[in-house]
Homo-oligomer: A and B are copies of this chain.
Amino acid sequence: MAETTASMTELLREMGQRARRASYAIAALPPAVKNDALERMAASFDANRERIKTENAKDLAAGEKNGLTPAMIDRLRLDDKGIDGLMRATREIAALPDPVGAIENMAVRPNGLQIGQVRAPIGVVGMIYESRPNVTLDAGALCLKSGNAAILRGGSEAFHSNTILATLMEEACRAAGIPEGAVQLIPTTDREAVGAMLKAEGLIDLIIPRGGKNLIRRVTQESVIPVIKHLDGNCTVYVDEFAELPMALDITINSKTHRYGVCNAAETLLVHAAVADKFLPLVLEALHAKDVRLHGCPRTMAAASYVEAATEEDWYAEYLAPEMAVKVVDSFDDAVEFINHYGSHHTESIVTRDMVRAQAFVRRVDSACVHVNCSTRFSDGGEYGLGAEIGISTDKLHARGPMGLRELTTAKWVVLGSGQTR
């Protein structure tokens, strides 16, 4: 075990140094070179469909042997449609505007210095993820486009699929003249590699974990490198006393039932007491008709026989399933306090016609995404117009909510003078 750790430390040191050298080169590349590499990746996925499917078949067979659920097997699968999706994603990322080098807020100081901020790559990004092999492409391509080197650590269940994708991506980078180390997949499923990655201070600048809560907790506890995590999405719809009820009904149903297994689905519904008598029968009936299991406070339970009693855990729950917690609140203040206490600081929507309420909700709700009169389901990089996203951050620093290309860069101060001294 100790030996493994030492060899893993050495492996990550070598990969990290290669990535660091590559990162300095990528940071200075013109957009055309990065886009050429991305186009070559897409073409290579097309030209190597059989190789990809052969490697993917090994993972699928192992997955079936190891008893993965049909849903998990499905997420693992890379068929022709999946490969088409990889190609499309790569070309979409190539088509996005390059975030590097943009100068923001340039202003002249009294002494004539021009001072502003220039967007620069972060450097080396370490990505730790589970399951779906397309994250190998998404993460590697987004990092490259934003001028970062990437060290990727995928799940063991997708190891063969990740390896062939990373190999094709590395070849495409080489063919485009990008130095080795731009995109690297950790070439082992040894769990110790994750530990070594989290200790590679000075070689990796940022760790982004994507996966289950256990993975994310481990990363947060062990990492000495800054982490931007996406912990969970217990999103809330709050129907205010000044809500238009048909709109509130549409937004609640869409937020809960449009898709169940996603982090921006609503899990909790709060209803202002002043509209509860009118709104609860409508919304509970509509949710029940869609087979959504309902957990309610006593006042909600009184409105429909099929509502079960909510426990304390229900208010915290991220069901990711046809299930919802429903509560009547006596005031706007109660709603805000409830959300800040029980919510996961991901996405919350208020439905109201009242401008002052809407403003107060935006100001006081401590969440990455605060929505007014629209579905929680819009909280997504594509919907926000960021293009592809590398994840959705529930952290507060650097990036909150959907993380696109801009969030994979940082701001350096640039000061242009003509000989000024103090």
Contact = CB atoms under 8 A, between A and B. Distances in A.
Interface of A: 24, 27-28, 101, 107, 109, 113, 115, 118, 120, 122-123, 201, 205-206, 220-221, 224, 226-228, 244, 247, 250-251, 253-255, 258, 337, 340, 358, 360, 362-364, 366-375, 377-379, 383-385, 395-398, 400-402, 410-422
Say whether chain A's binding surface is mostly helix, strand, loop, or mixed: mixed
A315 B257 CA distance: 61
Nearest to A223: B224
Contacts of A205: 396-397
Contacts of A224: 220-221
A364 B27 contact: yes
B206 A413 contact: no
12 contacts: A28-B363, A101-B363, A113-B374, A226-B395, A251-B421, A254-B421, A369-B413, A372-B417, A373-B417, A384-B415, A396-B410, A397-B398
Contact of A400 (B363, B368, B412): B412
A33 to B, nearest CB: 14
B397 A226 contact: yes
B254 A370 contact: no
Q: How many copies of this chain?
A: 2
Given A205-B396, A221-B224, A410-B400, A371 B417 contact: yes
A396 B206 contact: yes
B377 A28 contact: no
Nearest to A107: B385
A247 B421 CA distance: 10
A224 to B, nearest CB: 6
A138 to B, nearest CB: 20
Contacts of A109: 383-385
Contacts of A377: 421-422
A184 B201 CA distance: 32
A366 B27 contact: yes
A366 B397 contact: no
B28 A364 contact: yes
A74 to B, nearest CB: 22
Given A28-B364, A101-B363, 17 more contacts: A24-B364, A27-B363, A28-B363, A113-B383, A115-B384, A118-B370, A120-B366, A122-B397, A205-B396, A206-B396, A228-B397, A251-B421, A362-B412, A369-B412, A373-B416, A374-B418, A384-B415
